[in-house]
Amino acid sequence: MTDATAAELPRLVIEGLHKRFGAVAATAGVDLEVRPRELHALIGPNGAGKTTLISQIAGEIFPDQGRILIDGRDVTRMAAYARAGQGLARSFQITQLFTDFTALDNVAMAIQARQGGNWRCFGSARQDRSLREPAMAHLTAVGLGHRADEVVADLAHGECRQLELAVALAAEASLLLLDEPMAGLGPEESRQMTRILQGLKGRYAILLVEHDMDAVFALADRVTVLVYGRTLFTGTPDEVRAHPEVRAAYLGDGV
Ligand SMILES: Nc1ncnc2c1ncn2[C@@H]1O[C@H](COP(=O)(O)OP(=O)(O)OP(=O)(O)O)[C@@H](O)[C@H]1O
Ligand SMILES: [Mg+2]
């Protein structure tokens, strides 16, 4: 494959994906593509299957049918840790951080884990400039540089969401799966997170699950609408806003 061909390849391709939990068809035919450096939003009502889809892309659960390709490579049956090696990182709908450690420590640990280090040796690594300097750069990128030495337990909820993003960046990921980074944030915190994501946009390929439509329409290059586990529509924010079925299924008349 030439470099030119590789450059045009979508970062992520989902083809005909299906996943059942007993009687529930959580994923019932999803097709989706995330292009290089695209910020692609995934929206849909509660229970539409957004988190289930993210978990399948990350390799935490396996689909019953269909394919997942990262950079043209079929990863459908690949373990989660191996997908991380393909440049993939996810953040969770519910924050997962080490609460007794500082913000900087959390990012440094993610860098160390990426380098194959052992967390039990972290005490000495804390002083390691080769971890501290890149960790500080990731914290600054998410607007948390001034809170580097705060223990996570003392951070505000919005700051935890920012920190979680820094942890994902520390994995040296180039394809980010973000599951509701604005969940539980107040209006000002949400605007702050939107600004942060705006800063990351164009540098990473991002699949963003979000219910905050102001953020989605401000940030997304394209939007995929998921309803009952199926792709209903993919288009630009303007196309999505104008789409009658999308309005009926999700947006309501106020948008
Ligand atoms: N592990 C599981 N076992 C059984 N059912 C599940 C499981 N995980 C998800 N489901 C079901 O699959 C459907 C899709 O859930 P999912 O969490 O993916 O939705 P979602 O779009 O992320 O919703 P929300 O916007 O509320 O986060 C729901 O009906 C849910 O109850
Ligand atoms: Mg969800």
For residue 229, what are its two tokens? 């586990």
Q: What pLDDT is attached to residue 1?
A: 46
Helix axes 157-170, 129-141, angle to 10 degrees: 130
SS3 180: coil
For residue 92, tell me if it sits in a domain: no
Give the alpha-carbon dihedral of 20, 51, 227, 76, to 10 degrees.
Answer: -60
Residues 118 and 243 in one domain: no
Q: What pLDDT is attached to residue 130?
A: 85
The separation between the first and the last C-alpha atoms of the chain, rounded to the nearest angstrom, is: 44
Model confidence at 65, pLDDT cuts 50, 70, 90, reads very high
Mean pLDDT of 38-65: 96
Residues 229 and 182 in one domain: yes
CA 2 to chain CA mean position, Å:
29
Residues 167 and 182 in one domain: no
71-83, pLDDT tens digit by residue? 999 999 999 888 8
Domain boundary among 129, 147, 173: 173
88-140, pLDDT tens digit by residue? 888 766 667 899 999 999 999 888 887 775 555 555 556 778 889 999 999 99
Give the domain CATH number at 216: 3.40.50.300
For residue 235, tell me if it sits in a domain: yes
Residues 74 and 190 in one domain: yes
Number of domains in the chain: 2
- From 20, 52, 182, 250, give the residue whose CB has the most ligand 1 atoms within 8 Å, as the site to mutate: 52
Rounded to the nearest whole angstrom, what is the distance from the C-alpha of residue 15 to the centroid of ligand 1? 20
Domain boundary among 131, 155, 173: 173
Domain boundary among 125, 142, 173: 173
- The residue range of the domain holding 150 is 97-173
Tell me, using a 6 A CB cutoff, whether residue 121 lines ligand 1: no
Please state the atom number of ligand 1 nearest to the C-alpha of residue 54: 18
For residue 251, tell me if it sits in a domain: yes
d(CA 228, CA 96): 27
Give the residue whose CA is nearest to atom 11 of ligand 1: 26
Q: What pLDDT is attached to residue 113?
A: 80
CA 209 to chain CA mean position, Å:
7
